[in-house]
Amino acid sequence: MNNVMTVNGLSAVIHTPQALEGDDLHSLPPGAPRPAHVVDEYPKCPENWMNGSDKASSYFVPVEAGKGMWFDFTMNQGHAHEVAVVISVQGINPLTGKKMTALNLEQYKKQCPIHNVDFQQDRFCPECEYKWPAQSYISTTTGQTLWLDGFRNEQGEVRQYIISEEEMQRGVAQQMIGEDRVWAIGFAFYLSKEAKPKPVYRERRLYSMGAGGGTMAKCCSFNGDADTLSYAADELGLESMDVQERGATRSVSAKRAATKKLEVGAGARIDQEIGVDPKDIDFWEEEPAGMIYVNYINPELCQQILEGGKREETKEGFLNGVKVGNK
């Protein structure tokens, strides 16, 4: 079963571990990857879901109310370029709380982007009465592992993503932007304009002290040393590192399964730092290298779609109908 969502060589995985409880500051929850299915491959998907394209992939992922959630982008840390990821959760940015009309790559250095007043020390806005993050994205340049477990709070911690039923009124976007929210999650991947420095390999000779003479082995060492970029995303209707290092059905009617919606709330506090990107905004490409749309849905609806079967595909491509083989 495939858990990895990909677009143009960039990847993401959604995990749904048990929700954390209590008022303590928690360590990172463990990995619990969810299966991801390609929207275009299943004819029974709702017509209003995004289709894939040359720069976008569209998936549906089953999740359960009451579970936690986190986003895993660690596979991108081995990319030839530095990678930045802008995230939309139901139409809001989980780092800034801003409603997203585009998947923006933004930095906040001098002024509050909402009130246009100068920041005080440590990006404190006197109108918002809290400190702003340094940017609207996470990236490989910050020195932090490329994953995100929740909504950033004013203390610089995160509150765990929690899957909640709509009637519970616990969704962050539900409370902040109401009817303007969407029922999807979006990831936009930006690459650095320049590739990372390549490793420099040098040959080292290792000699034994025995009569057999010297032996040679090779080893290598590595020698390497608010502005806004916008990408219009009106269409947003919205294994790598070992994730184990992070920490240790009922029947419903078809109609109910199809209409049961899930919100994303903010749960317990997690000790997770959002690093500061030391690069200027022009370090990054002006448009994303790829986008991934995620329709997170209840398991019953997912099962209905899967039972509808995959689209028909011609396995032989242009060779279909042509005599092939050696007999």
Lowest mean pLDDT among 159-163, 212-216, 294-298, 309-313: 212-216
Please say if the pLDDT value at position 276 is more than 50: yes
Q: What is the mean pLDDT of residues 252-263?
A: 61
Q: Residues 171, 263: contact at Cβ < 8 Å?
A: yes
Confidence band, pLDDT 50/70/90 cuts, at residue 154: confident
Q: What is the mean pLDDT of residues 181-190?
A: 96
Question: Can you give the pLDDT at residue 305?
Answer: 96
Question: Can you give the pLDDT at residue 314?
Answer: 76
Residue that wins the pLDDT comparison between 267 and 234 = 267
Question: Can you give the pLDDT at residue 260?
Answer: 79
Question: Can you give the pLDDT at residue 203?
Answer: 60
Report residue 186 as tokens: 């979006």
Question: Can you give the pLDDT at residue 3?
Answer: 96
Q: What does the mean pLDDT of the chain come to? A: 85
Task: State how far the Cα of 324 lies from the Cα of 327, in Å rounded to an integer.
Answer: 8
Report residue 234 as tokens: 């009106």
Instruction: Report pLDDT digits (tens) over 107-149.
Output: 999 999 999 999 999 999 999 999 999 999 999 999 999 999 9
Question: Can you give the pLDDT at residue 224?
Answer: 39
Long-range contact set of residues 46-55: C-beta below 8 Å, sequence gap at least 24: 46/295, 48/237, 49/237, 49/293, 49/295, 50/184, 50/235, 50/236, 50/237, 50/238, 50/293, 55/7, 55/8, 55/288, 55/289, 55/290, 55/291
- Measure the CA angle with vertex 8, ends 150 and 67; round to 5°: 25
Question: Can you give the pLDDT at residue 324?
Answer: 79
Helix (H) or strand (E) holding 61: strand 56-62
Q: Which of 59, 80, 51, 294 is nearest to 184 (CA)?
A: 294
Instruction: Report pLDDT digits (tens) over 198-233.
Output: 877 666 554 444 444 444 443 343 343 444 454 444
Instruction: Report pLDDT digits (tens) over 57-85.
Output: 999 999 999 999 999 999 999 999 999 99
Q: How many helices (H) and strands (E) does the chain have?
A: 3, 19
Model pTM score: 0.82
Confidence band, pLDDT 50/70/90 cuts, at residue 306: very high
Q: What φ, ψ does residue 201 adopt, rounded to 5°?
A: -100, 135
- Count CB atoms within 10 A of the CB of residue 216: 9
Please report, rounded to a whole number, the percentage of residues in the chain having pLDDT higher than 70: 81
Q: What is the mean pLDDT of residues 162-180?
A: 91
Q: What φ, ψ does residue 168 adopt, rounded to 5°?
A: -75, -15
